[in-house]
A and B are shown apart, each in its own frame.
Chain A
């Protein structure tokens, strides 16, 4: 099936040659100010114009009365609308006269506002259709596109660039996922709040993401999916082209009542929805963190070719709980092959675990961690590696830096060594993954407890996610394995 909306129509929304903010305010507390501020400050490179009724200048941008007053040579593709609903029909007509082909509407007072609002929304959709304008929203928070350095939002943040495409029926989840992108360093290609989804809905954006070379994985929050069969068929086609991670709100009776009053979503049997996702090859996430981490993993790790996981750890307990997590999942805890055991024996004193998890048990010297990671990842029976124990040395280094003996050259030397080592381990994990085409996931609570630690900081610098626990690394890897199996059984790439 081809996308309902041709992908090239989204260019005006996600890669506009110029942007007009309609309804700019001089008051920094108003959306009409915030939108202009965010577009200008986050580095959008095209020309930016603004309209309001007061005139004057806001943030250095001279205010026009109407899109009709745009300079004759101005090329503007996108209007970001912060005006009241009543003003919007005339505004859109004027925009169309100036060649604008996409509009993002933050304006409220439409479908969410009773019968009159619904009528106004239907008229707006018909008008946009007639004018050839792609209409996003209304009642949405905005649109972000890192390839265009576009932060057209009435909220923060602006995320780092990357391969995750975000769409949400609830604007604040766009913010949530972008906050997680900022914190983890795993970046975003496009992000959009569907708002009331009057003309362009979640499946339309998903179809665009599948066709978008900047997007490697789609991450969506939904409460309702409209006509179920059509949603299934469309999302199945999207998932055949790229991973789709879906977080659904309203899976319990209590949540469904909340969703009904939030987005008007109809209650459906969650077991049917879950089966539909499995059948479509959609990765269904259980929680907000699970959703982001699954998407981040799809964006930054290769798919495993099988379920067998090797755990490399510098501490016994972590290995044990990780073995539990793997055993409870659809993954397999690899039985350590004899030749791999023999190869590790050559590099470690005999107190290492001699089994999987590969617990180095403190016997490691300068080069052991990179060597064992390499041995494990290169072994043909290993499909994926989880690496635990990064950052321990740099954690002590931090205490040394903060202690009263800092300045002692011996301390400085060892701190530099520790931090260099952790950086090296993080780099080795990324390099061996790239070289073998196998996922190698690094987990430590220091990712949250002390993100400045050289271990997690370097994992982030390699572009990978540093998982805050081994359980969450295993969960993300399980999502990848499910997708790999699905693709393999259906002959998808």
Chain B
């Protein structure tokens, strides 16, 4: 079994690699959470993060649509109280609410038969049921990345949707190449999942991520 990086560490790793990542504040106290909400501008999302924190949504550790600094403070207090010993050293993430009609998923993993692979797919709450993903072996180049996007059954989702412009395919392809480089250069990396990768005005933005390392 490997160990997971905390959400903000996972996102930081992606940011280093040039992946567009949501601007967020990582804080330790309810006071600081309130201050962060004030400076980011509400509404915000408040989440608990830590090396052992996985399945945040299922455990109720994500508070969406927090509308004021005071609300952020009380949400932070509750989240800290909900921490378990095996979550490790927990912290709080305060991030702006990111809205987009389209959610994608992207990631990389070490396949037991084919080695490092990169994937992209349709995200959102129905992602698993839809199971629309394309995979390539790493390393991949821009051309492979563009072909992955063509492979999606719901590739039309990448076009203009509900008043939002078409997804910037070059940026999306660049994210897939970045994931490929990461998984190739870091043999200690078991898997990396960006979920969701929200499309904001056509630009993909990593809002949450989970990195698993070999222990």
Contacts and interface: CB of A to CB of B under 8 A. Distances in A.
A315 interface: no
A275 B113 contact: no
A278 B137 contact: no
A229 B114 CA distance: 5
Contact of B114 (A228, A278, A490): A228
B114 A272 contact: yes
A279 B133 contact: no
Given A275-B148, A278-B151, A489-B143, A229 B136 contact: no
B113 A279 contact: no
A381 to B, nearest CB: 23
B98 interface: no
Interface range, A side: 10 to 19
A126 interface: no
A274 B148 CA distance: 11
A228 B143 contact: no
B131 to A, nearest CB: 8
A228 B114 CA distance: 4
Given A279-B136, A279-B140, A272 B147 contact: no
Given A275-B148, A278-B151, A228 B113 contact: yes
Interface in A210-255: 225, 227-229, 232
Contact of A266 (B113, B115, B148): B113
B143 A275 contact: no
Given A229-B137, A271-B135, A489-B143, A276 B114 contact: yes
A89 B148 CA distance: 50
A228 B140 contact: no
Contact of B135 (A229, A266, A272): A272
Q: Which residue of A225, A232, A271, A275 has the most chain B CB atoms within 10 A of its CB atom?
A: A275
B135 to A, nearest CB: 4
B62 to A, nearest CB: 28
A249 to B, nearest CB: 16
Contact of B117 (A225, A227, A275, A489): A275
Given A229-B137, A271-B133, A272-B117, A278 B111 contact: no
A8 interface: no
B32 interface: no
Nearest to A274: B135
Nearest to B134: A275
Contacts of B140: 279
B114 A268 contact: yes
Interface string A248-284: 0000000000000000001011011111101100000
B115 A275 contact: no
Given A232-B137, A271-B133, A278 B147 contact: yes
A293 B113 CA distance: 30
A279 B146 CA distance: 11
A272 B144 contact: no
Contacts of B144: 279
Interface in A269-321: 269, 271-276, 278-279
Interface residues of B, number: 18
Nearest to B151: A278
A272 B151 contact: no
A225 B115 CA distance: 14
A268 B135 contact: no
Interface in B154-177: none
Nearest to B144: A279
B135 A232 contact: no
Contacts of B151: 275, 278
Contacts of B114: 228-229, 232, 268, 272-273, 276
A274 B133 CA distance: 11
Contacts of B135: 269, 271-272, 274-276
Nearest to B140: A279
Q: Which residue of B113, B119, B140 has the most chain A CB atoms within 10 A of its CB atom?
A: B113
Interface string A322-338: 00000000000000000
A453 B95 CA distance: 72
B134 A272 contact: no
A194 B114 CA distance: 22
A244 B2 CA distance: 38
B137 A269 contact: no
Interface in B24-48: none
Interface in B99-144: 111-115, 117, 119, 133-137, 140, 143-144
A227 B114 CA distance: 7
Interface in A369-396: none
A253 to B, nearest CB: 14
Contacts of A490: 143
Contacts of A274: 135
5 contacts: A229-B114, A229-B137, A268-B114, A269-B111, A274-B135
Ranked nearest first, the 9 interchain pairs of A and B with the lowest CB-CB distance are: A275-B135, A228-B114, A228-B113, A268-B113, A275-B136, A271-B135, A272-B135, A279-B136, A229-B115
Given A272-B114, A276-B114, 14 more contacts: A228-B114, A232-B137, A268-B111, A268-B113, A269-B135, A271-B119, A272-B117, A272-B137, A275-B117, A276-B137, A279-B137, A279-B140, A279-B147, A489-B143
